[in-house]
Amino acid sequence: MPKTAGKMNSIMGKDSSTNVISFQERLLKRTPLIVKPTKDPKAAEPRIIAVSSGKGGVGKTSIVANLGYVLSGLGKRVLIVDTDLGLGNLDVLLGITPKYNISHVFSGEKAIGDILVDGPGNMKVLPASSGIQALTHLTDLQMDFIHKQMLRIVSSFDAVLIDTAAGISSNVLYFNAGAQDVCVVVTPDLTAITDAYALMKVLSIQYGTAGFRLLVNQVGNAGEAREIFNHLELVTRQFLDVSIQFMGHILKDDNISKGVRSQKMVSDIFPRSPASECFKVVARQIYDTMENQTR
Ligand SMILES: Nc1ncnc2c1ncn2[C@@H]1O[C@H](COP(=O)(O)OP(=O)(O)O)[C@@H](O)[C@H]1O
Ligand SMILES: [Mg+2]
């Protein structure tokens, strides 16, 4: 067992049968944030899904909020985490104004469990801070700290959806490396496609990430999404040692922007709109994967 495991176990208040893997090992081997207790292999493990893109403005935050909302409506205990630590805006999109955020955890003023707030539906939200530049590039020590803090809370949920920042900073790579599923969001925009490729490349080379799920946003129809997937599948197969799975598509839908303006999610205020119907399909697919996993 790694040296740090005992220490983490005591932090988590768990016995030694809980197989926790050290931060460095997890990053290098890309093992999940938390590993099933060996004594009870049937115990549910939270599904940790990082939503990333490379390029900003492609729809990550909208996707995390809406997929989380629909999944929670299906009966899952959902936590959505804003890991855009310096410029987080998940709270704005959800129309909530949390009193505390992750910066208060770093400063020692609050424990992580104390900053969770209720979001729409039955979701819980872990808010990031905004305008704190020091948090945009966490040191190894800070990452280790936040990892330990996250371990305290994730096991209370069925699904943890992680909204990441744009770019391929160490923060972004870190939060992707700790997730079971890396959901890469792409749009028909050529720069979004090349940035998605760059993100997969760096995660694969630096962290050994071998599998990705591709969610194509802002498309006119399902065929367009398939074409984009096929293209990326071809180039990744040719140049990277990774496999990508098609996760689905979200139609371009102005109701999403209307929702943002009124600080409500499209799935909440326009549940029958084209994008909302797509969110239902993708959320159902995640739900089914989770159900099969626990069976
Ligand atoms: N499927 C979509 N159709 C139309 N507009 C969208 C769609 N998805 C996202 N948007 C809009 O794109 C902008 C960026 O979305 P956001 O979720 O903030 O992206 P990111 O988190 O990747 O920066 C927002 O104005 C949002 O309303
Ligand atoms: Mg965002």
3-state SS track over the chain: CCHHHHHHHHHHCCCCCCCCCCHHHHHHHCCCCCCCCCCCCCCCCCEEEEEECCCCCCCHHHHHHHHHHHHHHCCCCEEEEECCCCECCHHHHHCCCCCCCHHHHHCCCCCHHHHCEECCCCCEEECCCECCHHHHCCCHHHHHHHHHHHHHHHCCCCEEEEECCCCCCHHHHHHHHCCCEEEEEECCCHHHHHHHHHHHHHHHHHHCCCEEEEEEEEECCHHHHHHHHHHHHHHHHHHCCCEEEEEEEEECCHHHHHHHHCCCCHHHHCCCCHHHHHHHHHHHHHHHHHHHHHC
In this structure, what are the phi and psi dihedrals at residue 82, rounded to the nearest 5 degrees?
A: -90, 110
Q: Which amino acid is at 153?
A: I
265 lines ligand 1 (CB under 6 A): no
**pLDDT value of position 66:** 97
Between CA 113 and CA 285 the distance in angstroms is 29
275 lines ligand 1 (CB under 6 A): yes
217 burial type by CB count under 10 A (0-12 exposed, 13-18 middle, 19+ buried): buried
| CATH number 3.40.50.300 given to 45-294 | yes
Q: Give the predicted TM-score (pTM) of the model.
A: 0.87
Digits of tens for pLDDT over the chain (295 positions)? 333 333 323 222 233 333 444 444 555 444 455 444 444 444 567 999 999 999 999 999 999 999 999 999 999 999 999 998 888 899 999 999 999 999 999 899 999 999 999 999 999 999 998 877 778 888 888 888 888 888 889 999 999 999 999 988 888 888 888 888 999 999 999 999 999 999 999 999 999 999 999 999 999 999 999 999 999 999 999 999 899 999 999 999 999 999 888 889 999 999 999 999 999 999 999 999 999 886 6
**pLDDT value of position 35:** 41
Residue nearest to atom 25 of ligand 1 (CA): 257
53 lines ligand 1 (CB under 6 A): yes
253 lines ligand 1 (CB under 6 A): yes
Cα 131 to ligand 2 centroid, rounded to whole Å: 14
Cα 62 to ligand 2 centroid, rounded to whole Å: 7
Between CA 89 and CA 15 the distance in angstroms is 37
**pLDDT value of position 26:** 53
Q: Which ligand has the minimum distance to the alpha carbon of residue 264?
A: 1
Structure tokens belonging to residue 154: 């994730």
Counting ligand 1 atoms within 8 A of each CB, the residue from 51, 53, 58, 62 with the most, and so the one to mutate, is 62
Residue nearest to atom 24 of ligand 1 (CA): 257
Between CA 103 and CA 142 the distance in angstroms is 11
Cα 37 to ligand 2 centroid, rounded to whole Å: 33
Q: Which amino acid is at 268?
A: D
259 lines ligand 1 (CB under 6 A): no
**pLDDT value of position 87:** 84
Tell me the pLDDT tens digit for each residue of 257-277: 998 888 899 999 999 999 999
Counting ligand 1 atoms within 8 A of each CB, the residue from 168, 199, 257 with the most, and so the one to mutate, is 257
Structure tokens belonging to residue 31: 């093992």
Tell me the pLDDT tens digit for each residue of 131-140: 777 788 888 8
Distance of CA 22 to the CA centre of its chain: 20
Residue nearest to atom 19 of ligand 1 (CA): 59
Q: Which amino acid is at 70?
A: V
Residue nearest to atom 17 of ligand 1 (CA): 59
Cα 97 to ligand 2 centroid, rounded to whole Å: 17
Task: Please identify, by atom number, the ligand 1 atom nearest to the C-alpha of residue 218.
Answer: 1
